[in-house]
A and B are shown apart, each in its own frame.
Chain A
Amino acid sequence: MENRFKSVFDIIGPVMIGPSSSHTAGAVAIGREGNKLFGGIPKKVTVHYYGSFAQTHRGHGTDYAIAAGILGFTTSDLRVPKAPEIARKRGIDIRFVEEKGESPIHHPNTAILDMTDGHKKVQLAGCSIGGGAIEIRRLVIHDIVVEPSGTLPIVLLIDPERKIKNQRSLTSFLQQKAPFNESRIYKSPDYYIYEYDIQNYFKPSLIGELKKKYKNIVCL
């Protein structure tokens, strides 16, 4: 059984600014993962809401929460409710679209982030599963669609060398330091992407170690 909730602090926590853990704290988390995947703050973000998110985002403060996450704020940052203003002042264009159809990733609390800075285009499809915990069920990087099982943490290595020995090196490193449930390889003419569904939350030092060892690694 793969557990969606992996820590007692997924249940008792997070410490956050109200009003909703799924629609506010979870939305901050989705925005933060967007920031991590993009590798910083994008210039333009279009947020597509589905299901309960589309129906209730205004009442729950989901818009400011996603904006806060994109800016890299944490759930307990007192600037969270002011995030859209802060983003505007920094020249970041964030738009919100209420979609009518079914969520493409099949969850009622879905937000899909289209992020760009003019050159780079990245998409992240996340859903908020309760208590501030989220899943990332689809990513589009360099036009490659990546579909992890959803539960965090997720490790991605974007490999412009397209050398499977890079995948093997990362695989054996992770097997020792951060066991994973599944891994997948995605290929395009320009890039290979290696994706891993990690079992438990990272030990604090491990992300630094991974970033030092592998260029173009993303830890969600």
Chain B
Amino acid sequence: MYNHIKEIVADAEKTEKPISELIIEQECKLSGLSREKVWNKMKYNLETMRAAVSKGSTGKGVFSHTGLTGGEAIKIKNYREKGHTLSGDFMMEAVQNAVATNEVNAAMGVICATPTAGSSGTLPGILFMLEKKLDLNEEQMIRFLFTAGGMGLIIGNNAEIAGATGGCQAEVGSASAMGAAAAVEIAGGTPAQSSQALAIAMSNLLGLVCDPIAGLVEVPCVKRNAIGAGNALIAADMALAGCTSVIPADECIDAMKKVGHQMPVSLRETGIGGLAGTPTGQAIKAKIFGKDV
């Protein structure tokens, strides 16, 4: 099993195979399942993601039981139709997909955790935008998920992917780094550029705290996935342009782990500090759960 980013990049260069292929081979070996079974499992995850994006972007959208989140993917969709977005239509399409997915999650709909439910919008955000922009077929989209997942495995085994142990940098930060690396591959970049994109994306979200209001995966989680998707695209573009990270990817992952462990408990998914601790955050919590909590 690949334990470090540098190992998988070296192997990809040596064998002249894309990272996605090495991860598919690794999965077949680890699980004992046939290539076809492994492929179809990922296809099912892709279909789940597509359904969530579509559900959150159709009609009036979806709304959570608390009313704290919902309907904003539709606002973005309507805004895009006017054609005056500041950051560009593709960027806002990625943001719309990301928000749609996390609105579905907050409304207790069906999603695919990538790597977590709180960060489930980041990868679909960019993937379904790239599908249109790069005219991707299903095979390419499934490969995108294998590359992203393989990078996530290395992150999870060397650092953290849970907000309670690593803050939001471990969730949306990891998702964004995984997405950046996979976007580079799908756009024709090299494995080394994927590694650079991962390092840049992770560095840019280092220190991000997990501070959900009332402990709900709604605020700020839904909008955090917008920045996860946007950051992934920026990092991928920078890596494709030839920009490099001074700190190697594996060391960025180690840094993420250390920063996570240094974060106070109040900023690690306890609903105590950060935005959760603001007067408005506390008032919402009291309104939802009563004053005794």
Q: Using CB atoms and an 8 Å cutoff, list the residues of chain A in contact with chain B.
A: 1, 3-25, 51-52, 55-61, 76, 78, 81, 107-109, 128-133, 200-201, 203-204
Interface 0/1 of B136-157, CB less than 8 Å to A: 0000000001101110110011
Q: Using CB atoms and an 8 Å cutoff, list the residues of chain B in contact with chain A.
A: 1, 3, 23, 26-27, 30-33, 41-42, 44-45, 48, 104-118, 120, 123, 145-146, 148-150, 152-153, 156-157, 160-166, 170-171, 178, 212, 214-218, 265, 268-272, 288-289, 293
For A57, what are the chain B residues with a Cβ–Cβ distance below 8 Å? 215
Q: Looking at the complex, which one of B3, B156, B160, B293 makes contact with A11 (CB distance below 8 Å)? A: B156
Are B268 and A108 in touch, CB under 8 angstroms? yes
For A55, what are the chain B residues with a Cβ–Cβ distance below 8 Å? 215, 270-272
Are A8 and B149 in touch, CB under 8 angstroms? yes
Docked CA distance A166–B34 (Å):
33
Docked CA distance A76–B45 (Å):
12
Docked CA distance A1–B218 (Å):
36
**Whole-angstrom distance from the CB of A118 to the nearest CB of chain B?**
33
Docked CA distance A21–B223 (Å):
18
Are B31 and A59 in touch, CB under 8 angstroms? no
For B217, what are the chain A residues with a Cβ–Cβ distance below 8 Å? 18-20, 59-60
For A6, what are the chain B residues with a Cβ–Cβ distance below 8 Å? 1, 30
Are B113 and A132 in touch, CB under 8 angstroms? yes
Are A25 and B108 in touch, CB under 8 angstroms? no
Docked CA distance A1–B289 (Å):
43
List the B residue with the shortest CB-CB distance to A62: B215
For B48, what are the chain A residues with a Cβ–Cβ distance below 8 Å? 15
Docked CA distance A58–B110 (Å):
19
For B157, what are the chain A residues with a Cβ–Cβ distance below 8 Å? 1, 3-5
Docked CA distance A1–B3 (Å):
8
Known: A8-B149, A203-B32. A16 touches B218 (CB 8 A): no
